[in-house]
Amino acid sequence: MNKRERLENTISGEPVDRVAVALWRHFPGDDQRAADFATATVAFQQMYDWDFVKVTPASSFCVSDYGVQDRWVGSLEGTREYTQRAVERSLDWTMLKVLDPERGALGRQLQTLALLKEAFGEDVPYIQTIFSPLSQAKNIAGPELLLRHMRTDPDRVHTGLRILTENTLRFLDAMRKSGISGIFYAVQHASYDLMSEEEYRTFGRPYDLEILEAASRWWFNFMHLHGSAPMFDLVADYPVQALNWHDQETEPNLAIGKSKFAGAVSGGLGRWDPVHTGTPIEIRDRARQAIQLTNGRRFILATGCVVMVTTPMSNLRAVRNAVEDTA
């Protein structure tokens, strides 16, 4: 099977020649320039031959044009530290403007996608990371201030979320000719550690569904549910083809998650243990357990989030080889 055939069969639960597999990571520093970011992304794919490429820009790419500033200070995840926010008062949410997706950091990301289209063509499915409006709001204001404003000035926060949603919809429209197969939709606040279900139903879910409806033009939309206490049941009906969460660190496990979600589930490997700190043999054994748990159907072998930028190459190769060993 080619990559698209394998993924489409995986999504629908039909037989595959082997389990699909993919890992993704940040490219700190390189992610600040379109050509360098595309080169790093292509090199990572050429080295390991994943079944799809998750394009992983810095989380600030969609909000830096509001004046948000960040820097990389050596995080093993490759994520950047925010040094300046754009919202300090609740009134600031009402001052956000709709951005032009062809300019600034958004435009730079479109340039990256154009370069990836040249490199991958139709041979390699690639999906663009899109942060939920609530995740974008967190990066604009900071996590504590966002929650405070949600609870003290909800109407103003909704005004900001409406603008961020419009920005995202415009960016999706601008990606029509980018060659992407779908989006990687990052949901970070559907977690009991952060808020109640009612709060997420109010400030998260309506905007999520609006964006995912617009993304339905693509065939492979992949959602990541971040956090150690996910509201799995609240988002299990989202219209995406694949769902990824920290299954090695929290409930539900893959089998239960698969029973609740209609598409493909993704995970099976801890990004720290065994992928970062373990051995190739441990990775192979853990992969075999995950494949057995899911019967190798509607399953994509992956980690629950980004792999570390210092993960041993032999371990990354072991993840890729694991699906061949169990085919």
Q: Are 24 and 307 within 8 A, CB to CB?
A: yes
Mean pLDDT of 74-84: 97
326 confidence band (pLDDT: 50, 70, 90) = low
Contact call for residues 306 and 26 (beta carbons, < 8 A): yes
* Banded pLDDT at 131 (limits 50, 70, 90): very high
Give the CATH architecture of domain 3-325.
Alpha-Beta Barrel (3.20)
- Domain-by-domain residue ranges, the chain? 3-325
312 in Cβ contact with 280 (< 8 Å)? no
3-state secondary structure of 15: coil
Q: How confident is the model at residue 325 (pLDDT cuts 50, 70, 90)?
A: confident
Strands 126-131 and 81-84: unpaired
pTM of the predicted model as reported, rounded to 2 decimal places: 0.97
Ordered DSSP codes for 219-256? S--EEEE-SSSB-HHHHTTSS-SEEEE-TTTSSS-HHH
The CB-based long-range contact list for 236-244 (8 Å cut-off, 24+ gap) reads 236/260, 236/261, 238/208, 238/209, 238/212, 239/209, 239/212, 239/213, 240/185, 240/212, 241/11, 241/182, 242/11, 242/266, 242/300, 244/300, 244/302, 244/304
Q: Is the pLDDT of residue 1 over 80?
A: yes
Q: What's the pLDDT at 293?
A: 97
Q: How is 204-217 classified by DSSP, letter by letter?
A: THHHHHHHHHHGGG
Which two three-digit tokens encode residue 202? Answer: 């109010």
Per the CB < 8 A criterion, the answer to whether 249 and 304 are in contact is yes
Tokens coding 8:
């489409």
Axis crossing angle, helix 154-174 with helix 205-214, rounded to the nearest 10: 10
Percentage of the chain lying above the pLDDT 70 cut: 99
Identity of residue 33 = R
* Count of all residues that appear for the chain in the document: 327
